[in-house]
Amino acid sequence: MSQPTLSLFASGLTGETAFDVLAIAKKLKATGKDVIELQIGDSPFNSTKNALVSGVNAINQGMTHYCPSPGLPSFRETIAKNYFKEFGVKIGPENVTVGPGAKVFEQFFCEAFLNPGDAVLVFSPQFPTYKPNLERRGAKIVYSSLKQENQFRPNLKDVEDFINNEPKAKAIFLNSPHNPTGGVATEDDMKGLAKLIVGKNIALFSDEPYCHMVWKGKHLTPLAQPGMLDHTVAVYTFSKSYSMSGWRLGYAISDPKVAEIIGKMINTSLSCVPPIVQLAGQAAIENDDNERDEVMKKFHKKVEILVRELEKVPGVKVLMPVGTFYVFPDVSAICDELGIVSHGLAMYLLEGADENKGVACLGGECFGEAGKGFLRFSCAEPDERLIEAVAFFADAIKRQDRVNAYLEKNPKYRKNR
């Protein structure tokens, strides 16, 4: 044997397809193709002003060394105060752990609470990295489908069944506002969830990157429900709210004992989040509310444009998202008609529909089986380009000849009619 074998986990590791499609889109663009990029959930706007200035100042002031693993004390203090201001939940810096974005907390949560064989309820379609992070700990995943006819809200009956009937039920992953569907759990959903969880040996991972992208009412966190701080790790990011995805900055709110454990996980893996990045985030929280809210309004308008345009396309069933900058139309009738699976349709729009132009988006199955028959569009392009993208889509689905030629080259996307 010339090389050591990989672990079973490594051999089956899956990631976010959005990054693969992003790479293809960039490659096509480099060859001169006009690609409208709606594949990844990134902001097209600059990081907010005070974040930029503070990041540069922090470099010039020499904040370029290690710092405490759970985060800079001043930043944790700022986050705790702001958390009460924004979500009405009273916490202190001991409840806060700073991390490089929101995603890595999936892994830390799993390491904190799960032993091999423990069962975890995941609402599906789901963020693609939940599965690998759960598999990393050998957890058993139980899926509960989010349905368009239920506005993609969590099904509490499934939660009840899971807790009562699954012998090793241990955790639930909730993501509200939800990527990819744009669904949001209501106050009643949060209350019902808390009633099922509080007092039991169940941990909740509450993934809340879109807390500033709620288009109806205010953002609700399960942490606001009595008793839920003992059960929950709620995670937030600067990627979406402050357009800071490349800085890698986020934080988790939890019980102090759990925060201490997550701090140790950062200690043993990352050491700390770069202080220059934390100081940029602190400035964003302290000074950039207005700019953030202006940007959120722009996203809301984009979502409305995209939905309005998609509603005009025959065969598309689309809901106005209650939150997030994603639109998730049901295109199953179009897929059936064309004989192509939904991610095949997405790739056809990018690669096959036209020589000189393409639209990059994702098939719903990139977010699990329950996403089959849907497309996910993000809104990361100028308003007029969104209109252009839907017009391109409407035209492309009329070209059965081109779809057939694409399927000839990519038979894996073929769907039986």
Q: Say whether residue 179 binds ligand PLP (CB under 6 A).
A: yes
Site for ligand PLP in 232-251 (CB under 6 A): 237, 239, 245, 250
Q: What is the nearest approach in angstroms of ligand PLP to the Cβ of residue 183?
A: 12
- Part of the chain binding ligand PLP (CB under 6 A), chosen from 95-103, 115-123, 162-170, 357-365: 95-103
Q: Provide the 8-state DSSP code for 330.
A: B
Structure-derived torsion over alpha carbons of residues 405, 406, 411, 413, reported in degrees to the nearest 10: -140
Contact string (CB under 6 A) for ligand PLP, positions 52-91, x = contact: ----------------------------------------
Q: If DSSP codes are grouped into helix, strand and coil, which group holds residue 298?
A: helix
Hey, which residues between 322 and 351 contact ligand PLP (CB under 6 A)?
A: none
Nearer to ligand PLP, 103 or 131 (CB): 103
Rounded-to-integer distance, Cα 375 and Cα 319, Å: 12
Q: Which residue's CB is nearer to ligand PLP, number 16 or number 309?
A: 16
> Cβ closer to ligand PLP: 325 or 406?
325
Rg of the chain over Cα atoms, rounded to whole angstroms, equals 22
Residue whose tokens read 């989040």: 273
To ligand PLP, the closest distance from the beta carbon of 244 in angstroms equals 9
**Binding span for ligand PLP by CB under 6 A among 87-95, 97-105, 156-164, 224-232:** 97-105
Q: Using the CB atoms, write b or e for 359-375: b if 16+ within 10 Å.
A: bbbbbbbbbbebbbbbb
The C-alpha torsion from 320 through 324 and 325 to 329, rounded to 10°, is: -40
- What is the C-alpha separation between 96 and 75, in angstroms, rounded? 9
> Considering CB under 6 A, how many residues would be counted as binding ligand PLP?
13
Cis peptide bond N-terminal to 177, omega within 30: yes
Nearer to ligand PLP, 78 or 241 (CB): 241
3-state secondary structure 179-215: CCCCCCCCHHHHHHHHHHHCCCCCEEEEECCCCCCEC
Q: Least distance in Å: CB of 273 to ligand PLP?
A: 12
Structural element, H or E, at residue 377: strand 375-378
Residue closer to ligand PLP, measured from CB, 193 or 334:
193
Which position among 47, 78, 133, 175 is part of the footprint of ligand PLP (CB under 6 A)?
175
- Binding window for ligand PLP (CB under 6 A); candidates: 96-104, 224-232, 275-283, 392-400: 96-104
Position closest to ligand PLP via CB: 101
Q: What is the largest CA-CA distance in the chain?
A: 64
Q: Is 400 left (phi over 0), alpha (psi -120 to 50) or beta?
A: alpha
Residue 42 or 255 with smaller CB distance to ligand PLP: 42
209 lies in the binding site for ligand PLP (CB under 6 A):
yes
The DSSP code for 42 is -
Rule CB under 6 A: which of 26-45 touch ligand PLP? 41
Nearest of 360, 215, 377 to residue 298 by alpha carbon:
215
In this complex, which beta carbon is closest to ligand PLP, that of residue 250 or of residue 344? 250
Stretch that binds ligand PLP, among 84-92, 98-106, 110-118, 273-281 (CB under 6 A): 98-106
Name the residues that contact ligand PLP, by CB under 6 A.
41, 101-103, 127, 175, 179, 207, 209, 237, 239, 245, 250
